[in-house]
Amino acid sequence: MSDTANTIAGAGFAAAPARPQRARRTGRRLHVNLTGLVLPLAILVLWEASASFRWVDPVFLPAPQKVAAAFWKMLTAQNLAQDFLASITIVGQAFLYGSVAAILLGIAAGLSRRVEAFFGPTFDTIRHIPGIAWLPLIVLWLGIGAPAKVLVIAKSVFFPVFLNTLQGIRNVDRNHIELAQALTLTRWQLVRRVVLPSALPSILVSLRYAAGLAWALVVVAEGLSGLEGLGFLIFRAQGLLLTDQLMVCMVVIGLVGFAIDRGMALVQRRLLRWKQGFEG
């Protein structure tokens, strides 16, 4: 009888080959990364070609090396870092406030139908007024500085996270709730051990989405009001026909957005190690 135990325990179908599988996966991830570089390189080549062969007037499309030089100049002589810092601070604050509020209220609404009924109609109306439509009014109240932008972006972060938290909680497996009852877990233990972990994947998806959204919105908000930040620079560069500076800002915005998304994906992967997903 005990040797049947050994056979089954020793078989370890899934756990034993886990290691080589993981190694293979990292190998493939590297491969995917290289594949992902092909298209950017192609675009760079095309860009360089259109500048060298004068397919496009350099006023409208400066050569890559001119953009690189502009980047260096902005960094060393024009406080690009400070503008970048201004933008990222707004996004960081807005993301923090918006998502913390959203997760807390989302949990409250997810756990109580009454809370959901209380906030539901109001939220569903506010949600449909875009953040940018709020900006003019908020700027009248709070001025053209950072607080107005933080508020507006926090609002845009809030809703996707709130809705996904609520939905994630509502989708908790009934069987798991029954298990918690059978194990005599208290309501708080149920929330902590069962409800929140099972809502976590859906919360993390919305956080990742909201982080990207916040970064995109700060550019718009700074373009519409204020005197600093990447969004301000980009619109100023357009006005002064400094296409090279404009493109520096675009590239920086794109790369930072990429880094934010990858960072969030890393957090997601780290926190959801227990989840086995489709890997293509």
Partner 1 sequence: MPAGRLDIRDVSKSYPQEGRPPLTVLSHIDIDVAPGSFVSLVGPSGCGKSTLLRLILGLDADHDGEILVDGTPISGPALSRGIVFQDHRLLPWLTLERNIGLSLENAGWSAAEKAETVRDLIALVGLRGFERAFPHQLSGGMAQRAAIARGLAARPEILLLDEPLGALDALTRLRLQSELQRIWRTERVTMILVTHDVDEAIFLSDAVVVMGARPGRVVERVTIDLGTERDRAGSDFAAHKRRILRAMGAEFGNRHAA
Q: Does 167 bind partner 1 (CB under 8 A)?
A: no
Which of 25/31 has CB closer to partner 1? 25
Site string for partner 1, 121-160 (x = CB under 8 A): ----------------------------------------
Residue of 193, 216, 238, 250 interacting with partner 1 (CB under 8 A): 193
Instruction: List C-alpha distances in Å: 1 to 7, 11, 12, 84.
Output: 10, 16, 18, 68
Which of 141/274 has CB closer to partner 1? 274
Distance CA 45, CA 123 (A): 48
The candidate with the shortest Cα–Cα distance to 161, out of 214, 114, 117, 217, is 214
Q: Does 205 bind partner 1 (CB under 8 A)?
A: no
Q: Does 33 bind partner 1 (CB under 8 A)?
A: no
Q: Does 268 bind partner 1 (CB under 8 A)?
A: no
Q: Does 182 bind partner 1 (CB under 8 A)?
A: yes
Residue of 111, 185, 216, 220 interacting with partner 1 (CB under 8 A): 185
Instruction: List C-alpha distances in Å: 117 to 103, 107, 120, 203.
Output: 17, 14, 5, 21
CB 226 within 8 A of CB 43: no
Q: Does 8 bind partner 1 (CB under 8 A)?
A: yes
- Residue 53, Cβ density class (10 Å: 0-12 exposed, 13-18 middle, ≥19 buried): exposed
CB 161 within 8 A of CB 98: yes
Residue of 26, 33, 35, 184 interacting with partner 1 (CB under 8 A): 184
Residue of 178, 240, 241, 269 interacting with partner 1 (CB under 8 A): 178
Q: Does 77 bind partner 1 (CB under 8 A)?
A: no
DSSP per position, 197-252: HHHHHHHHHHHHHHHHHHHHHHHHHHHHS-S-SHHHHHHHHHHTT-HHHHHHHHHH
Residue of 19, 53, 273, 280 interacting with partner 1 (CB under 8 A): 273
CB 211 within 8 A of CB 158: no
DSSP per position, 104-172: HHHHHHHH-HHHHHHHHHHHHHHTTS-HHHHHHHHHHHH-SSHHHHHHHHHHHHHHHHHHHHHHHHHT-
Q: Does 11 bind partner 1 (CB under 8 A)?
A: yes
CB of 96 to partner 1, least distance (A): 25
CB 106 within 8 A of CB 162: yes
**Piece of 42-50, 87-95, 128-136, 267-275 that binds partner 1 (CB under 8 A):** 267-275
CB of 92 to partner 1, least distance (A): 28
CB of 242 to partner 1, least distance (A): 51
Q: Does 19 bind partner 1 (CB under 8 A)?
A: no
CB of 254 to partner 1, least distance (A): 35
**Which positions touch partner 1 (CB under 8 A)?**
1-2, 4-9, 11-15, 18, 175-176, 178-179, 181-186, 189, 193-194, 197-198, 200, 273-276
